A = this chain, B = another copy of it.
Amino acid sequence: MTDTLDMVFAALADPTRRAILSMLLEDDMAVTDVAEPFEMSLAAISKHLTLLTRAGLISQEKRGRVKWCKLEPDGLRAASVWMQGFGQFEPVNLDAFERFLATEIPDAARDDG
């Protein structure tokens, strides 16, 4: 599963990972905090996060001993374009979406603090 579309769609196929993405929509989070609401081990969440990172849907940056997870909305672009091919759907307007995040959810749109 090295193809981008394969990885993105597979990443989205799991409800835990979709929930993680929704959480990250509000704000960047540390791995431990991402894991907190789930009834599942930290190791399992860590694997989900690795998979989301490889799919390009999030990025992870280590600061001190804490690893911060950040949504990468642009990771959806290839999938969105593919779905557009089916006609009747509008593309996900990611540029506009990021502007939306910046104005409506200032914390989540921080670039560098």
Contacts of A84 in B (CB 8 A): 92
Binding site secondary structure of chain A = helix
Q: Name the contact of A86 in the complex, choosing from B10, B15, B73 (C-beta under 8 A).
A: B73
Indicate with 1 or 0, residue by residue over A89-101, a CB within 8 angstroms of chain B CB atoms.
1101100110010
Which one of B1, B74, B105 contacts A90 once the chains associate, using CB atoms below 8 Å? B105
**A60 close to chain B: CB less than 8 A:** no
A/B interface sample: 27 pairs, CB < 8 A:
A5-B12, A5-B15, A6-B13, A9-B10, A9-B12, A9-B13, A10-B10, A10-B13, A12-B82, A12-B83, A13-B13, A22-B88, A25-B90, A26-B90, A73-B86, A76-B83, A77-B89, A80-B89, A80-B90, A83-B83, A86-B97, A90-B105, A93-B105, A96-B104, A97-B100, A97-B104, A100-B100
